[in-house]
Amino acid sequence: MGTSGPVVKLSSPATGDFWEIPVLFEDEHLLVLAKPARLLSSPDRYDAARPNLMRLLHDAVVAGKPWARERGINYLANAHRLDFETTGVFLLAKNREALVVLANDFGSGIPKKTYLALVEGSPPEDEFSVDVKLAQDEFHPGRMRWTRDGKKSLTHFRVLERFAGVTLLSCHPVTGRTHQIRVHLKYAGHSIYGDEIYGHAIQLWLSSIKPGYRLKPGAFERPLTPSLALHAWKLEFPHPITKASIEVEAKVPHDLEVALKYLRKYAKATKPGVPLEKGPNPSLSTGDDE
């Protein structure tokens, strides 16, 4: 993965994986990265050997890798988490003072999160909310389920673009339960494309939207959504030290960008949806897994 701006280079010798992770914002107190898909943000509670972003960052700092040495970094801690498959804005503190303030702010629901999700179906309303309690699924470790006995969970959704049987949503979690957006969308009947856990791995195929699509002999069609089509798009928060308002945006990942390009070309929208500047105010989040 190449990028023209500053990057953090990480590698996992155990798996042979390599990442060039774009830096979205940085000062003496904060580092904001664009998390890639299919990389844990924190250690897996069920498999500690799986590569995760925080362990890779810490190992690189201890090893004195150039990007860490040049910045004088000797401390990094994540202020929130993102799911294994989710891409986008990932906020880290460079010192304990900043971390404590960020942890309190996230716990109080001060930062505003905006996600993008490409989902199956067409919601009847341009704006809707899902207010359903969530809890760990005792029969499937690592999964969540809706239940009357769970923790309060609320997400607001807004239609950004409508296509034939496909919709692009902005998602504004008020609470921050694990997998909240994914489970709430499944509950609403609009699973996210590429969701292997809650969407039965539904995929968007070019052959399903392009008239007269033909595959070359011997070739295999790749899905337009090989990974979870959920992206942590924007994060707004007060700077933990200066209190200045910070807004960081992560570029839409390539797979989702290509899928949207083909949808706009071949799957004409039934109606446009709500413009970005309208609809409900982006809601407050506690900053846990999505």
In a domain, 271, yes or no: no
Count of domains for the chain? 1
- Tell me which residue range forms the domain holding 171: 7-266
In a domain, 166, yes or no: yes
The SS3 of residue 83 is: coil
pLDDT digits (tens, 9 = 90+) for 187-217: 999 999 999 999 878 999 999 999 999 998 8
In a domain, 104, yes or no: yes
In a domain, 239, yes or no: yes
In a domain, 67, yes or no: yes
Closest CA to 188 of 139, 253, 103, 127: 127
pLDDT digits (tens, 9 = 90+) for 223-272: 999 999 999 999 999 999 999 999 999 999 999 999 999 999 999 766 66
In a domain, 275, yes or no: no
Q: What's the CATH number where 105 sits?
A: 3.30.2350.10
In a domain, 203, yes or no: yes
Sign of CA dihedral 145, 161, 32, 106: negative
Q: Which pLDDT value is given to residue 241?
A: 98
Q: What is the pTM of this model?
A: 0.89
In a domain, 290, yes or no: no
Residue for token pair 């290509």: 258
How far, in whole angstroms, is CA 177 from its chain's centroid? 14
pLDDT digits (tens, 9 = 90+) for 98-130: 999 999 999 888 999 999 999 999 999 999 999
Active-site pick, 47, 59, 83, 255 = 83
Q: Which pLDDT value is given to residue 236?
A: 97
Annotated catalytic residue 195: no
